[in-house]
Amino acid sequence: MVHAPATQQSSGFLSTEESYALFWFRSLARFHRIRNPEQWQFNEKDVIAFLRSKLAEKTPTWKRIKIVQGLIWYRNHVRKSPNPPLEPIRQKLREIEAREREKQDERPIEEVIGRINPRESDAIQAFRRSLRLIGRKPNTERAYVQKVRAFMRDRGLKCLKDFDGIGSRDIEAHLTDLAVDGDVAGSTQDGAFYALLFFFEHVLKRDFGDINAIRSTKAPRIPTVMSKPEVIRVLSFLEGMHLIIGQLLYGCGMRISECLRLRVKDFDFDRMMIEIHNSKGDKSRFAPLPQQLVEPLRKLIANRELLHERDLANGEASVWLPHALDRKYPSAHKSFKWQFLFASARMSLDRRTGKRHRHHLHSDTFPVHLKKAVEKANLNKHVTSHTFRHSFATHLLQDGTDIRTIQELLGHSDISTTMIYTHVLVRPDVRVISPLDQLQSSPSHGVAAGIALSQSVSPDKKNVDIVETDLPEPQDEKVLCDMRSHEGGSDLIVSSVNSTQNRGVSLPSRVRSFISSMISNAIAGRSIRESG
């Protein structure tokens, strides 16, 4: 029997997602005849074999995707481990689902893929066509095309025919050059690899074999994080719509693209939640709606409705809709709930479809206002839109939020991606004091054990008569301390340098032990000669 996490057991209730995940893990364990599933460490091959059995049973692709998603949830929340990596399996199934959707689509191919520049190379045109048929996003298409173009320039390729003699050696050489000569980050080299992999599989219809290129050794950078006072200062120099964008980026941990794509329907003021759709990896998630943004957002939605009513009166109200929603609901593109909240001031032409829409703000608009705000706030850090997301995650960690919760809020598939924020975390319960500060430390600096010691050493440098120290009272005088031992205890004789006053202080055993060890450390093992 597989046991649910303790929090779930204590409540006696499992959500639909949790129940689904546990059901498919048990089905996977039964398929492989595992007697003790709670101790079983399943891997990718186990999952693939199970999915193949479901394919033989004619289980539809969408349901097999649900199986993988359930196993990913079980891996993340029950096993609390990033292994096995199941995201590539889920992505492959999504590509299969997109191809199945393509075959069922009765529209002309030109309408499905949109317009493609005929002046581009036939290789790039075919590449764009394949990316769009699979359903890759415009940003992904832009990045992949850039990588393939760089490869074509590097190898002197002009058209599809030139790829006939291209194989694994050429790809290895190109990826190695990126790492050695280009000094690119590992993520950049990975992006080039996956772009070429997609090109070979979907355009050339062949495998480019094993690639043994030199891996990039450029270490990943830790993210830049603003402190809470710095966030307040930056936000204070933003205003209007751009202030709300900045508050959402920091208050919800969104990416700038996710924020700009928010539609009116995505805000749930009753449950205080925001729905984020079509995120990176085509995922969806919920984000908490900050309480202080309720009224500003309501006012912004009201203003957005006025603009929409004007568009309706002019007969040009329209918005881009994802997937096949525009065909399933022909009038949805005119519905207010589907409109982008952060709308552009003017209509624009969709290059793929040739239709006019009121799109959301351009992604370059907010960074311009953010740059001015950072300059006015006198911050010397390199602050971008993504810095708000980094600060969101880091501040939650500092406040004690569980790393798994932060993973879900950020929409990370792999916990290792979220763990990077532990590298910039400054824990309030751990204070590391520099050795340089300890050289000149004093009680006024808040260092209780940082008492500066000096010793008066006899000419033979073996024995010490007195120990000189700084005490906070009276009047921060410099005093001479002589600890005298006697039967049953010890006394500390304190002599003021500024006066002839001497006073004896009887020491408790714990204080005697502390001062003894302090003096021993200060004189590096030398013995103290008893006085008198």
What pLDDT does residue 303 have? 95
> Is residue 280 among the annotated active site residues?
yes
What pLDDT does residue 517 have? 62
- Catalytic site residue from 26, 218, 277, 280: 280
Residue 201's pLDDT band (cuts 50, 70, 90): confident
- Catalytic site residue from 77, 174, 255, 359: 255
What's the pTM value of the predicted model, to 2 decimals? 0.60
Cα–Cα distances (Å) from 174 to 82, 150, 191, 202, in that order, read: 30, 9, 13, 20
Cβ count within 10 A of residue 355: 12
What mean pLDDT is predicted for residues 259-265? 95
What pLDDT does residue 29 have? 93
β-partners of residue 174 are none
84: phi then psi, degrees, rounded to nearest 5: -80, 155
What pLDDT does residue 519 have? 58
Name the helix (H) or strand (E) containing 496. Answer: strand 489-496
What pLDDT does residue 472 have? 42
User: pLDDT over 90 for what percent of the chain?
Assistant: 36
> Is residue 115 among the annotated active site residues?
no
Mean pLDDT estimate for the chain: 78
The pLDDT of residue 354 is above 70? yes
Q: Yes or no: say if 48 and 85 are a contact pair by the CB < 8 Å rule.
A: no
Per-domain residue ranges of the chain: 6-103, 105-202, 228-423, 435-528
Cα–Cα distances (Å) from 501 to 479, 504, 531, in that order, read: 10, 10, 18
6-103 and 228-423 share one fold: no
What mean pLDDT is predicted for residues 436-465? 47
- Catalytic site residue from 261, 308, 359, 389: 389
Residue 5's pLDDT band (cuts 50, 70, 90): very low
Residue 206's pLDDT band (cuts 50, 70, 90): confident
Q: How many CA atoms lie within 13 A of 355 on its CB side?
A: 14
Q: Which of 157-161, 320-324, 365-369 shows the lowest mean pLDDT across its residues?
A: 320-324
Per DSSP bridges, beta strands 527-528 and 463-470 are: parallel
The pLDDT of residue 21 is above 50? yes
> Is residue 323 among the annotated active site residues?
no
**What's domain 105-202's superfamily in CATH?**
Tyrosine recombinase, N-terminal domain (1.10.150.130)
Q: Quick one: which of 470, 516, 467, 452 has its CA closest to 490?
A: 516
The pLDDT of residue 87 is above 90? no
- Strand intervals (E) in 218-284: 267-268, 273-276
- Catalytic site residue from 155, 386, 512, 526: 386
> Is residue 412 among the annotated active site residues?
yes
Domain spanning 6-103, CATH class? mainly alpha
What pLDDT does residue 157 have? 92
Close Cβ partners of 177 (under 8 Å, ≥ 6 residues apart):
154
> Is residue 242 among the annotated active site residues?
no
Q: What is the pLDDT of residues 38-77, one digit of tens each?
A: 889 899 999 999 999 999 988 888 889 889 988 988 888 8
The amino acid occupying position 63 is K
Q: 2.30.30.140, 3.30.43.10, 2.30.31.10, 1.10.443.10: which CATH number matches 228-423? A: 1.10.443.10
> Is residue 386 among the annotated active site residues?
yes
